[in-house]
């Protein structure tokens, strides 16, 4: 059970990290706006905890 929990948390952190980077990229490079950049920036600390 503990290994499955660790794998699940790792996968969730990976999705948050990649998603955050993608949101910042979209906000800056595709001119989606500061809301997208802020959402990406907010998800990055979530991935590292």
Cβ proximity of 33 and 27 under 8 Å? yes
- Domain limits at 27? 2-48
Cα–Cα dist 49/44, whole Å? 9
| pTM given for the model | 0.75
* Domains: count for the chain: 1
44 φ/ψ angles, rounded to the nearest 5 degrees: -65, -45
Q: What is the pLDDT along the chain (49 residues), one digit of tens a residue?
A: 899 999 999 998 889 889 999 999 999 999 999 999 999 988 877 666 5
């Amino acid at each position: 059970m503990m290994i499955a929990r660790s794998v699940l948390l790792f996968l969730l952190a990976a999705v948050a990290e990649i998603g955050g980077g993608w949101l910042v990229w979209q906000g800056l490079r595709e001119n989606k706006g500061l809301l997208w950049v802020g959402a990406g920036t907010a998800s990055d600390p979530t991935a590292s905890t």
